[in-house]
Structure 1
């Protein structure tokens, strides 16, 4: 091992110290949620459904001990909220750059992985472009045709407020969106546009004409949809 390698492997290396704290996938997902505005335990559970409550609690305590987050009483006084400290906020560009790198160099493996339906739908519902929808309430029923469970989701939009339900809320449905999960992910990642997907019958979209004609304007898309994959790792 050369001198440079020895220095990197030592405990005094700042990069290694950072990796020891932040290199866990659950920690990165948790931080990503905080940068997207999630602050409460129950909301973390909905956004990262594969993360067990015990792991979530442990990661929150680790980040709090490292002074990356702090616990504060919610304004209502009935719940605890987790807030980023100055140290935590400085991690924002790091997490964002990791996401951009992943879209450029690892997008193929990202799209092919076994995606968690709940996690995807959480991303889907909060990335709807509500400004492209009419004022008032719009209800979108998303049906994932190749899943036998967690395959029906109601997305309820009230101006800028968007809720996600797995149980029928009893509202009239305005738009029906049906597709296999992989096709929905391709649509969300920007690999295919709404109209080409409809024309190719990779997704089924039905609703009033004014919502169909503007679907490209309001459809949910990844915030990183503009990051194009690199041509080759070489």
Structure 2
């Protein structure tokens, strides 16, 4: 090993020590899910469908070994939950600031990347603004028109809770939302507003008048939708 390599590998820089644990996309996605309230293995799999079970298990063990998370028995005693430690909680602002930076300086590449429909729909369903919906259950059928598989998703909202189904749950549908995946992502990221998208027929909504006229109030949007790209921020 040459002298330069020795200096890099033996660096006393705290940022390098942090990067050894956090400098991996799967680890960051996993931490993001934990900050959003995900605690169980099966829910991590639904939220990050491209992450294989073996990689998920390995990353969880790495975070546990680093004292960033701990394993605890669920209240029911039937499953294991993963909880953030004090060290893990302190990573929250770091991950959030990375997301803000990405929206400001890398939004174009984010929008252009190959998006996993399952991961996107997981984000979509949990960002529906349930406060804008009527009391009781509301079922939104999202139909992705340019896909031949995984093209129908049922979002079930009831009170503050939302659930996502890829198989027909047998509930009566209240609203039909139809769009290509790219147009749905553009709406969710705030690149287009709902009224314009409906007017341009890139988004189709069908359902009772009240739910359609108030769609802007309950439509799912990224929590970072207010972060303007750098070219506009100037």
Alignment of 1:157-176 (within 5 A): 157-176=157-176
Bigger shift: residues 65-74 or 157-166: 157-166
Name the TM-score, length of structure 1 as normaliser: 0.95
Task: State the distance in 1 between where 2:28 and 2:174 align.
Answer: 36
Question: 1:93 maps to what in 2?
Answer: 93
Superposition RMSD in Å:
1.7
Q: Unmatched 5+ residue regions in structure 2?
A: 1-5
Q: Distance in 1 between matches of 2:230 and 2:79?
A: 44
The alignment covers a number of residue pairs equal to: 230
Residue 60 to residue 209, structure 1, CA distance change in 2 (3 Å): same
Return the alpha-carbon distance in structure 2 between the equivalents of residues 172 and 233 of structure 1: 44
TM-score scaled by length of structure 2: 0.95
3-state SS in 2 of match to 1:131: helix
Shift of 1:12: 1.3
Q: Which residue of 1 aligns with 2:229?
A: 229
Gaps of 5+ in 1: 1-5
For 1:20 and 1:85, the matched residues in 2 are separated by: 19
- Distance (whole Å) between structure 2 residues aligned to residue 157 and residue 220 of structure 1: 12
Q: Which residue does the alignment assign to 2:82? A: 82
Q: How does 1:1-234 map to 2 (within 5 A)?
A: 10-231=10-231
Determine if contact 1:124/1:188 at 8 Å carries over to the other structure: yes
Query: Secondary structure of 2:39's partner?
Result: coil
Are 1:100 and 1:224, in contact at CA under 8 Å, matched by a contact in 2? yes
Q: 1:159, 1:84 → 2: CA distance?
A: 27
Deviation, structure 1 residue 98: 0.1
In 2: Cα distance, 1:146 partner to 1:190 partner: 21
Q: CA deviation at 1:11?
A: 2.5
Please say if residues 187 and 194 of structure 1, whose CA atoms lie closer than 8 Å, have aligned partners that are also in contact.
yes
SS at match of 2:231: coil
